[in-house]
């Protein structure tokens, strides 16, 4: 399978960048993992959005889901999705309606956000929404998806994408230092680990990892490779890489828009 980084920024996107979004493909099946601000435009630059089969969301923070709204408008309003001919498009009786695989409670959040301007059911009309739960794997085309709860500020789930070959990518989502991710990512082929913080939070409940902590989680999990992500362009990339490598005890990859990794 192949993963393409569409966006890797933390809650505020890089100059010209996008927040969390990763396109995972096997043959002609396309799974989008997370859809944060800026991701829809980056997705469009790479594939036709009507060819996205499924979208899986790690948690309901804006930088991981808010571009579901422009994505939904596109699916519902674009001329070629209409049932009758429109401006040169022949019309279709089978408009694309991707699966949306989101954590329990996502429907309520999407309705609350959309209701601010009368779009309460916008996302669930455009997508086939299903809410997942920890301990209940799902099949999405050729992929098997598993979910594990992570300690963060809202219900948050790491997502494992397993290909028919048995190879695995583990998306760690957002999390404070924990054992759950180490167990869930055990012997994974690629851990995509957030490395948001230049230093641990000084006050309050922790919610994110430093690059060294992210690398250490990958080392403890026995991951073959680690990609650090959720890193602002305001942090020095070489410093982030070096800190990650210190935790991992080997070189690490740093997510960058357009980076493609074959697993
Ligand atoms: Zn978050």
Strands 21-26 vs 29-33: parallel, antiparallel or unpaired: antiparallel
- Between the CA of 210 and the centroid of ligand 1 the distance, in Å, is 14
Q: 21: closest CA among 71, 70, 67?
A: 67
Cα(149) to centroid(ligand 1), Å? 13
pLDDT for 99: 98
CA of 201 to the centre of ligand 1 (A): 14
C-alpha of 203 from chain center? 27
What is the reported pLDDT for 118? 94
Residue-level pLDDT at 107: 98
Å from CA of 34 to ligand 1 middle: 11
Span from the CA of 11 to the centroid of ligand 1 (angstroms): 8
DSSP string, 137-178: -EEETTEEEEEEEE-SSS-EEEEEEE-TTS-EEEE--S--S-
CA of 188 from ligand 1 middle (Å) equals 22
Q: How far is the CA of 165 from the centre of ligand 1 (A)?
A: 31
Tell me how far the alpha carbon of residue 10 lies from the centroid of ligand 1, in angstroms: 8
**Separation of alpha carbons 192 and 215, rounded Å:** 10
List, run by run, the mean pLDDT of 10-residue segments along the chain (263 residues): 98 98 98 98 98 98 98 96 92 96 98 97 98 97 98 97 98 98 98 96 94 98 98 97 96 97 96
Nearest-CA neighbor of 134 among 160, 152, 153?
160
Instruction: Give residue 78 CA to ligand 1 midpoint distance, Å.
Output: 31
Q: How far is the CA of 79 from the centre of ligand 1 (A)?
A: 34
pLDDT of the residue at 87: 86
Strand partners, 161: 145, 169
- CA 155 – ligand 1 centroid, Å: 9
How close is the Cα of 205 to the center of ligand 1, in Å? 13
Q: Is the pTM of this model over 0.95?
A: yes
The whole-angstrom separation of Cα 216 and Cα 70 is 37
CA of 85 to the centre of ligand 1 (A): 42
Distance from Cα 63 to the centre of ligand 1, integer Å: 7
| Spacing, Cα 175 to ligand 1 middle (Å) | 8
């Amino acid at each position: 399978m192949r993963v393409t980084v569409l966006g890797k920024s933390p809650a505020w996107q890089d100059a010209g960048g996008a927040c969390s979004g990763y396109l995972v493909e096997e043959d002609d099946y396309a799974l989008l993992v997370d859809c944060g601000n800026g991701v829809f435009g980056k997705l469009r630059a790479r594939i036709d959005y009507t060819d996205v089969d499924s979208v899986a969301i790690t948690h309901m923070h804006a930088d991981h889901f808010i571009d579901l709204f422009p994505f939904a408008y596109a699916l519902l309003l674009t001329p070629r999705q209409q049932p009758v001919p429109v401006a040169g498009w022949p019309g279709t009786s089978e408009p694309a309606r991707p699966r949306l695989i989101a954590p329990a409670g996502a429907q309520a959040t999407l309705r609350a956000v959309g209701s601010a301007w009368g779009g309460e059911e916008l996302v669930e009309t455009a997508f086939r929404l299903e809410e997942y739960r920890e301990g209940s794997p799902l099949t999405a085309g050729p992929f098997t998806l598993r979910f594990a709860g992570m300690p963060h500020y809202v219900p948050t789930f790491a997502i494992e994408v397993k290909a028919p070959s048995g190879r695995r990518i583990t998306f760690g989502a957002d999390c404070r230092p924990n054992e759950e991710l180490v167990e869930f990512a055990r012997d994974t082929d690629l851990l995509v680990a957030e490395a948001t913080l230049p230093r641990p939070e000084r006050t309050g409940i922790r919610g994110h990892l430093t690059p060294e902590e992210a690398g250490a989680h990958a080392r403890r999990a026995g991951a073959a490779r680690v990609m650090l992500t959720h890193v602002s362009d305001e942090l020095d990339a070489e410093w982030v890489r070096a800190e990650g490598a210190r935790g991992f005890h080997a070189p690490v990859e740093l997510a960058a828009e357009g980076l493609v990794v074959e697993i």
